[in-house]
Chain A
Amino acid sequence: MTTGGWIIMVLSVGGVTSLFSWALYRVLSYRPQPEKLHGFNIDTHDTDEG
């Protein structure tokens, strides 16, 4: 195995492994935000002055 072979192997295998690890981490660490439900704002006029 030549030095060039080591370099190509490490870069290729390391590159795809890093990408795979990063993607897996992002997917598994994702926590979806709870969906915000907006209801109607009913104005009861109870804070009106006068």
Chain B
Amino acid sequence: MTQTHHREAWSSRLGVIMAVAGSAVGLGNFLRFPGLAAQYGSGAFMIAYFISLLLIGFPICWVEWTLGRYGGQKGFHSSPGIFSVLLRHPAGKYIGVLGVIIPVIIYTYYVYIEAWCLGYAFYFFTGKLSLGSDVAAYSEFWSNFVGANRDGMTLEGGQNQVVIFLAIVFSLNFYLIYRGLSKGIELFCKYAMPVLVILAFITLARVLTLGTPDASKPDQNLLNGLGFMWNPGDVSKQLSNPQLWLAAAGQIFFSLSVGFGVIITYASYLTNRDDVVLSGISASSTNEFCEVALGGMITVPAAFVFLGSAGIVGQGTFGLGFNVLPLVFSKLPYPWFFGGIFFFLLFLAAVTSSLSMLQPGIAFLEEGLGLKRRQSVTLLGMITAIGCLFVVYNSKDLKALDTLDFWVGTFLIFILATILIILFGWGIGVEKGWTEAHKGAEIRIPSFFKPIIKYVSPLYLLIIFSLFILFNVFGWDPSTGAFQPSSYISDLVGETPNAAARLSVLFIVIVAAFFMVLIGTAGKRWDNAKNGANLPDNQDSETES
């Protein structure tokens, strides 16, 4: 791995791949993907899933790696800085705000879910999560734990100790980010990712040897569990369902961490002699392996074997992960061990992802405002702590978390990814972009990806985005043609608006405005540096120590 003139750099090639893969591998791999595949009939879903991987997953991944490295070679590591180079227009840096606020805001609620995982691992290892064979008991435990019954519940003390776990994971994240790119993120991911895969293999081995645990229910066996996950339904009919395509494309998006502003920042620490093509495909394939080969084989089959299809259908990601699976593990021999390692696995997956959400903000504060590491970590820590407390306090029905996830973790990601792919294919030009991508490359991108990147990916993204707006925002029912705005709209402007939802959107606006102001200041600083002195190299501060 070649070093740039900045001290902040990756120390090894495997390290950067593990860091990007760690960013991508998260709760969605083990909880969201299996739930969606089973819900939509795996045959059709997998077809749409792999088509989406080919048409938007890999292309956007290469685009982000390439644009990030390109910006890094021009001296920028933050999304606003990189966009100012890419667009060559004063307004360019303001578009880059998306690459900062998306990861920062997602961090504010993701770290809360991370705390749940650590808490569940702890409670399993200490034997406190053996609540019998009724899923309602686990559901009640979870509601109390996360404060889903009323606002402010988790801050009242008593039995709800999620705040303690939150303080631990919050501190861990900022400790690692303070240590810097190579000594913090890279070092942690190099150990955490292999451990995560080993834990997943142990869990997988246990699931694949379940057989028929309850002789009185012979239908609930492993083969039928795998069948529930993988048996195709009426493929052609299911493929005509636009919601299926939306779900598959959305899963590819969130799973690969494309459009988050993370990869573009990570790749900016590479040089032209470093490969981005093989690295990009390696990180993506690691994520796909964890998602399809591990997540797809563990969660749903295990839940089916103990609960049957009735126990799985209708469960969302959290229901499956924090209500159904704890019950499943409690029925296994050594529940403390298998439950503990599974939730510790989820915790590791979450930490490697949340770490990546902090680096774009740190990179911007350091290169935009000239802050030292200690200052940037403190400022970002304060911003994210305020957001996190907001999410934790507004815990009733997890409304704040859900609202932020919808508008930032879904809506804005679509927008940023669309901007990036159009910028690469049409702004820079696919030929120049192609040349840029292959600098230092060890493998070549198959040439059929050229028209895909230029025409198919943007079109596919725009179609999926339109479907998303149509179905998930305006609530269009294709069978009747009627529109019934989703709760994300009615919570804001309906007859009975929800205060937490409104405050969540206000929070997004305030954070965006705050960073816009900072970007304006950063722009002046960059202009001054361009016109006179060199750019102050505060972004190279690995740590002050």
Interface residues of A (CB under 8 A from B): 1-2, 4-6, 8-9, 11-13, 15-17, 19-20, 22-24, 26-28, 30
Contacts and interface: CB of A to CB of B under 8 A. Distances in A.
Q: Taking chain B's interface residues, is the majority helix, strand, or loop, or is none over half, making it mixed?
A: helix
Contacts of A26: 278, 282, 442-443
B186 interface: no
Interface in B195-237: 223-224, 226-227, 229-232
B288 interface: yes
Contacts of B229: 9
A26 B282 CA distance: 9
Contacts of A19: 281, 285, 288-289
Nearest to B41: A8
Interface stretch (B90-98, B120-128, B246-254, B292-300): B292-300
Given A8-B46, A12-B46, A30-B442, A1 B226 contact: yes
B43 interface: yes
B286 interface: yes
Given A1-B230, A2-B227, 15 more contacts: A1-B224, A2-B232, A5-B227, A5-B232, A8-B230, A12-B50, A13-B296, A13-B297, A15-B292, A16-B285, A19-B288, A20-B288, A23-B278, A23-B281, A30-B442
B316 to A, nearest CB: 23
B9 to A, nearest CB: 15
Contacts of B279: 27
A11 B281 CA distance: 19
A8 B232 contact: yes
A47 B353 CA distance: 64
Contact of A1 (B50, B223, B296): B223
A5 B226 contact: yes
Contacts of A22: 285
A17 to B, nearest CB: 5
A28 B443 CA distance: 14
A24 B197 CA distance: 14
B475 to A, nearest CB: 31
**Which interface residue of A16, A19, A28 has the most chain B CB atoms within 10 A?**
A16
B296 A12 contact: yes
24 contacts: A1-B223, A1-B224, A1-B226, A2-B227, A2-B231, A4-B43, A4-B231, A8-B46, A8-B232, A9-B229, A12-B42, A12-B50, A13-B292, A13-B297, A15-B50, A15-B292, A16-B289, A19-B281, A19-B289, A23-B281, A26-B278, A26-B442, A26-B443, A28-B14
Contacts of A5: 42-43, 226-227, 230-232
Which 6 A-B pairs give the minimum distances between C-beta atoms? A1-B227, A5-B231, A20-B289, A23-B282, A9-B230, A5-B230
B401 interface: no
B17 interface: yes
B285 A27 contact: no
A14 to B, nearest CB: 9
A27 B288 contact: no
A4 B297 CA distance: 16
Contacts of A17: 289, 293
A17 B285 CA distance: 8
A30 to B, nearest CB: 6
B224 A8 contact: no
A13 B229 CA distance: 12
A27 B278 contact: yes
Nearest to A14: B293
A5 B300 CA distance: 14
A13 to B, nearest CB: 5
B524 interface: no
B14 A27 contact: yes
A28 B288 CA distance: 19
A4 to B, nearest CB: 5
Interface string B419-434: 0000000000000000
B13 A30 contact: yes
A27 B282 contact: yes
A16 B288 contact: yes
A4 B231 CA distance: 6
Interface string B282-325: 10011011011100110000000000000000000000000000
Contacts of A24: 282, 286
Given A17-B293, A24-B282, A27-B13, A8 B227 contact: no
Nearest to B14: A27
A5 to B, nearest CB: 4
A23 B279 CA distance: 8
A23 B226 CA distance: 27
Contacts of B285: 16, 19-20, 22-23
Nearest to A20: B289
A22 B17 CA distance: 14
A5 B235 CA distance: 12
A9 to B, nearest CB: 4
A9 B226 contact: yes
Nearest to B17: A27
Contacts of A8: 42-43, 46, 230-232
B51 to A, nearest CB: 13
Nearest to A1: B227
Contact of A4 (B232, B281, B292, B296): B232
B211 to A, nearest CB: 14
